[in-house]
């Protein structure tokens, strides 16, 4: 298991947080995603090592920016 916390900017509401959670959840191997809207923190747990570039890609495709991770 691998767990990593990322910072995502651009999320302004619960719908935004839900979109980020859903899109990251579609990444192969991801077993859970926890989004803290107030801080922009997104904690991702995966069965395999997390690919930061893949997480960045899905976040950006959803219309948000991965600023740290």
Percent of the chain topping pLDDT 90: 94
- Measured CA to CA, the distance from residue 8 to residue 47 in angstroms comes to 22
Provide the CATH number for the domain around residue 64.
3.30.70.100
> What is the domain range of residue 36?
2-68
Question: Which of the four pLDDT bands, split at 50, 70 and 90, describes residue 15?
Answer: very high
pTM for this one? 0.92
* Residue 68 binned pLDDT confidence (cut-offs 50, 70, 90): confident
Give the number of domains in the chain. 1
pLDDT given at position 41: 97
């Amino acid at each position: 298991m691998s767990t990593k916390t990322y910072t995502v900017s651009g999320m302004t509401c619960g719908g935004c947080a839900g979109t980020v959670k859903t899109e990251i959840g579609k990444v192969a191997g991801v077993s859970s995603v926890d989004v803290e809207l107030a801080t922009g923190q997104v904690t991702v747990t995966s069965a395999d090592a997390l690919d930061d570039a893949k997480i960045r890609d899905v976040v950006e495709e959803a219309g948000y920016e991965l600023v740290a991770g």
